[in-house]
Amino acid sequence: MDYLILIIGFVVLLVSGDFLVRGGVSLARHFRISTLVVGLTVVSLGTSAPELMVSLKAALTNQADFATGTVIGSNISNIALVLGLTAIVLPLAVNRRSTIIDWPIMFGAVVLFFLFIVDHELARVEGLIFVFLLAGFIFFSIYQSRRKSSSNQEEVLPAKYSLWLSLLIILVAIIGLRFGANWLVKGASGIAKSFGISDYLISVSIIAFGTSVPELATSLIAAVKRETDISIGNIIGSNLFNILGILGVTALIKPISVNDQILEFDIYWLAALCFLLLFMMLPLKSGRINRWNGVILVVSYLIYLMVIFSGKL
pLDDT value, residue 139: 85
Task: Return the axis-axis angle of helices 163-193 and 2-30, rounded to nearest 10°.
Answer: 150
Average pLDDT estimate for 304-308: 90
Q: What is the pTM of this model?
A: 0.79
pLDDT for the residue numbered 313: 43
**Number of separate domains in the chain:** 1
pLDDT surpassing 70 at residue 151:
no
Residue 112 has pLDDT above 70, yes or no: yes
Q: Longest Cα pair distance anywhere in the chain, in angstroms?
A: 59
For residue 20, what pLDDT band results from cuts at 50, 70 and 90? Answer: confident
Q: Is the pLDDT reported for residue 286 higher than 70? A: no
Instruction: State the residue range of the domain holding 262.
Output: 2-309
- For residue range 40-60, list pLDDT tens digits in order: 676 776 667 666 766 776 666
Burial 281-300 (b: 16+ CB within 10 A, else e): beeeeebebeeebbebbbeb
Residue 126: pLDDT above 90?
A: yes
Q: What is the domain-level CATH number for residue 155?
A: 1.20.1420.30
Lowest mean pLDDT among 85-99, 146-160, 292-306: 146-160
Q: In the predicted model, is pLDDT for residue 153 greater than 60?
A: no
Res. 281: pLDDT tops 80: yes
Judged against a pLDDT cut of 70, whether residue 154 lies above it is answered with no
Look at residue 75 in the predicted model and tell me its pLDDT. 92
**Which residues, 6+ apart, have CB-to-CB distance to 249 below 8 Å?**
52, 56, 127, 131
Read off the pLDDT of residues 180-226 as tens digits, 9 standing for 90 and up: 767 766 776 676 677 777 767 777 777 777 777 777 777 877 777 77
* Half-sphere exposure for 64 (CA within 13 Å, toward CB): 16
**C-beta separation of 64 from 198 below 8 A:** no
Cα angle 286, 288, 290 (rounded to 5 degrees) comes to 150
Q: Compute the mean pLDDT over every residue in the chain, rounded to the nearest whole number.
A: 80
